[in-house]
Amino acid sequence: MSKSLLVISRQAPWSGPSAREALDIVLAGGAFDLPIGLLFMDDGVFQLAPGQDAKAVQQKDLSANLQALGLFGIDDVFACSHSLTERGLTPPASAQPMDSAAISQLIDRYDQVITL
Amino acid sequence: MSTLHVVSHSPFTDGRLASCLRVCGAKDAILLCGDGAYALHNPALHSQGVKVFVLAEDSQARNLPVPDWASSVDYSGFVQLSIDYDKVNTWL
Amino acid sequence: MKFAIALFSAAHAPSSRRALLFAQAALAGGHEIVRLFFYQDGVYSAANSIVAPQDEQDIARQWREFVSQHQLDGVVCIAAALRRGVLNAEEATRYQRSAVNLEAPWALSGLGQLHDAAQAADRLICFGGP
């Protein structure tokens, strides 16, 4: 049986390639049909904010990659509710909100974790 | 399952340790290394009741006395911790 | 125990040295390293263009020697490397760049190699940041 991997993405979307490179790990795992989960936490939840304009900073639109998650078989997408509340964001439709206790159990459930 | 959380950022300038503590499970432990070792000066860490390890070279380099609530490990101890815990979550 | 080690920081970051010392301790303890995978700024830890002052540690060189000596599988993420200008001879030719700063024992490959290593290993250990 394949080992499961949880990727915790903590980077804001326009702070360099980090957020994109975290997503790339997730998408690559999905392409190999591996059981992958994705949790947005801390500034990573800004990736889920509505109405972003990547063109304003001449960047590629990250939301296209986010929308591709489903196509790559990544259905386990979560968002830290503490981080959302702290930043005045409402829970997005694309990610399941989780409180700290649930995140603790989530980390427990996966075989491996990469937090970046 | 248990997780060894590895933190190398100073808790006085960075939120990683705080986030880690929020999601740290009862069976988990934290290994402080690099500037993360400065968390030995952070009483909040002790009050959480989580098991704390520190990489010996980093507490030594920073002249940080290791309190009785933390344990010091060398690299072979680090390797052993990564085996004793079911997974390692480094807060990159 | 089988380890997969992923590095996310450049050779001048303390975490690059920490990863190297962990890897050395793992082998010394009789464990196996199934692969080293260098991602994000970790690609700089494999660059051979780094010139360390004589009285300072040359971690990139130590990584090269360590991988060669133990005949480890050292993989540098190709997408992360191209973005950061870390090129082997083949990629420098392909993109018509004058500098080559990656050579054996390092191989350029894709992110699939990270997942493959994580699957093959008992533990995935990541190093990065300060």
Indicate the domain borders of chain B. Answer: 3-90
pLDDT one-digit tens code per residue, B65-91: 999 999 999 999 999 999 999 999 999
Within an 8 Å CB–CB cutoff, is residue A25 touching chain C?
yes
Name the residue among B24, B25, B87 with its Cβ closest to that of A113: B87
Q: What is the CATH number of the domain that holds C39?
A: 3.40.1260.10
Say which of C59, C77, C102, C114 is annotated catalytic.
C77
* pLDDT score at B49: 85
Task: Please write down the HEC assignment for all residues of chain C.
Answer: CEEEEEECCCCCCHHHHHHHHHHHHHHHCCCEEEEEEECHHHHHHHCCCCCCCCCCCCHHHHHHHHHHHCCCCEEEEHHHHHHCCCCCHHHHHHCCCCCCCCCCCEEEECCHHHHHHHHHCCEEEEECCC
Within an 8 Å CB–CB cutoff, is residue A77 touching chain C?
no
CB contact under 8 A, B8 and C28: no
Which CATH code for domain B3-90? 3.40.1260.10
Q: Report the percent of chain C where pLDDT is more than 70.
A: 100
Domain segments of chain A as ranges: 5-115
Q: List the domain range (segments joined by +) for residue C78.
A: 2-127
Q: For this structure, is C77 an active site residue?
A: yes
pTM surpassing 0.80? yes
Q: Which residues of C touch A (CB under 8 A)?
A: 6, 8, 39-40, 79-80, 83, 110-112, 114-115, 118-119, 124, 126, 128
Within an 8 Å CB–CB cutoff, is residue A33 touching chain C?
no
pLDDT one-digit tens code per residue, C54-64: 999 999 999 99
* pLDDT score at A62: 85
Residue pair A81/A39 in contact (Cβ under 8 Å)? The answer is no
Which CATH code for domain A5-115? 3.40.1260.10
ipTM value for the complex: 0.97
Number of domains in chain C: 1
The span from the CA of B36 to the CA of B40, in Å, is: 8
